[in-house]
Amino acid sequence: METTDADLIKRAAEALNPQQLADGSWVADVGAAVEAGDGTVHTGASVGGYLSVCAEQSALSQMVSRTGPVLRRVVAVWADPDGGALHVLPPCGRCREFLRVLRQENLDAIVVLGPDHRTTLRELLPVHGWHAEQV
């Protein structure tokens, strides 16, 4: 059975475990789910602090160690600690580049922005080469 975007959002939410560190930063306040090329889903949570690791990168660590670098879909979520409303987050610039560097074909991976809202990594990273053009 195919995993829907709503299912993937739910899996990302299951990775949430928000805890505040002594310095005031948070861990596991963002959760992510990635669908690998073989259809398996891997999840991860953010690790805060000033040298933070994004939830997407945590999930990708699981994915590459279990299946490889081919990505089909990615989603990240954050739950507001005041009320718990769930928000889907677009990947930050570092994660966009991280996803692309894993494999160029990942530019065609789906980035889930909501239950009925999706785009591609290519749309979020339109100028992605080391050089734009030769002059």
Site of interaction with Zn ion (CB under 5 A): 54, 92, 95
Query: How far apart are CB 64 and Zn ion at their closest, in Å?
Result: 16
Query: How far apart are CB 5 and Zn ion at their closest, in Å?
Result: 19
Query: How far apart are CB 68 and Zn ion at their closest, in Å?
Result: 21
Q: Residue 103: is it exposed, middle or buried by C-beta count within 10 angstroms (0-12/13-18/19+)?
A: middle
User: Cα separation of 42 and 33, whole Å?
Assistant: 6
Beta bridge partners of 33: 43, 75
Q: Residue 98: is it exposed, middle or buried by C-beta count within 10 angstroms (0-12/13-18/19+)?
A: middle
Amino acid at 121: L
